[in-house]
Amino acid sequence: MNVVENTKPMIMGILNVTPDSFSDGGRFNGVAEALDQCRKMIEQGADMIDIGGESTRPGADPVSEEEQIRRVVPIIDAIRLQLNETIPISIDTTLHRVAAAALDAGATLINDISAGLDDELIFDVAVQKQVPLILMHRQGSPKTMQESPFYLNVVREVLDGLMQRVELAMSRGVDKRQLVIDPGIGFGKRKQDNIDLLAHLDQFVATGYPVLLGTSRKRFMGSICDVNNPEELITATAVTTALGVMNGVKYFRVHDVKENKQALEVAWAIYQSRQI
């Protein structure tokens, strides 16, 4: 299945196999727990699963490639052997050796939140394995990205930054048709920056590249809604999913599959009617 060529928007269920992710850290570290969560997300309508072995929350420390591989590969193996042989699995990593190990275990695409800034060899892995590559915009590193983010024109600067990474990826041999872009909501952005990016998603879609949106349970929505617990931001996330569908976004990376799938389905029905 070539997820990049899929026309209907798709839900990407998040499976964090980390002890310190901002919302669900430590809950799915074991293979049995991870499989149960994966099964639940598939039953609720997830079209693909995104597995990561390194927390990228603000302030997080980097995790070695060896530790990431130790965390993610057994779970990918188990999904393929025990649960689902065909569902697309994304490996959420910035390191080429982790990506390669995950793809060898059965992952089918790469989700790189650094867009190759951390490890340009990840482009070579995408070419060698002939898999889709998601390139996300990030200002700074997870450790420091929220200390003092600044933009004069966040939409233009994020767009320009992403197009530069797209050009580099293609210069390294990545097929243009295999690229997905992600504006990187919450990654080195202030509250208003995130709002501005959401208000102009159509400009990212206008590039012609499929767009992934990742707003799930993020802090800026909590500040809008006066909510401190990320797990109470399910409805807020679903609102951004509906907004994204209406603007042509193709992929939605979420913790809460059921609610966001419903938002996607209703928004998609409306969007299709608007195209008539």
Query: Tens of pLDDT along 144-160?
Result: 667 778 999 999 999 99
The answer on pLDDT for 59 being more than 90 is no
In a domain, 49, yes or no: yes
CB 252 within 8 A of CB 241: yes
Inside any domain, residue 157: yes
pLDDT at 45 over 70: yes
Crossing angle of the two packed helices 65-78 and 31-43, in degrees rounded to 10: 60
pLDDT on residue 27: 57
Residue 214's pLDDT is what? Answer: 98
Residue 13's pLDDT band (cuts 50, 70, 90): very high
Exposure class string for 127-146: b at 16+ Cβ within 10 A, else e = bebebbbbbbbbbebbeebb
Inside any domain, residue 64 = yes
Q: Give pLDDT tens digits for 167-180.
A: 999 999 999 999 99
In a domain, 257, yes or no: yes
Separation between Cα atoms, residue 151 and residue 157, nearest integer Å: 7
CATH number, position 144 = 3.20.20.20
Q: What is the pLDDT of residues 77-133, one digit of tens each?
A: 999 999 988 999 999 999 999 999 999 999 999 999 999 999 999 999 999 999 999
Query: Which residues participate in catalysis according to the annotation?
Result: 218, 253
Predicted pLDDT of residue 19 = 77
**CA separation for the pair 121, 85 (Å, rounded):** 28
Domain span holding position 31: 8-274
- SS3 state at 180: strand
- Residue 69 included in any domain: yes
pTM, two decimals, is 0.93
1 found inside a domain? no
Answer yes or no: is pLDDT of 166 > 90. yes
Q: How many domains does the chain have?
A: 1
In a domain, 3, yes or no: no
Residue 41 lies in a domain: yes
Q: Say yes or no to pLDDT of 22 above 60.
A: no
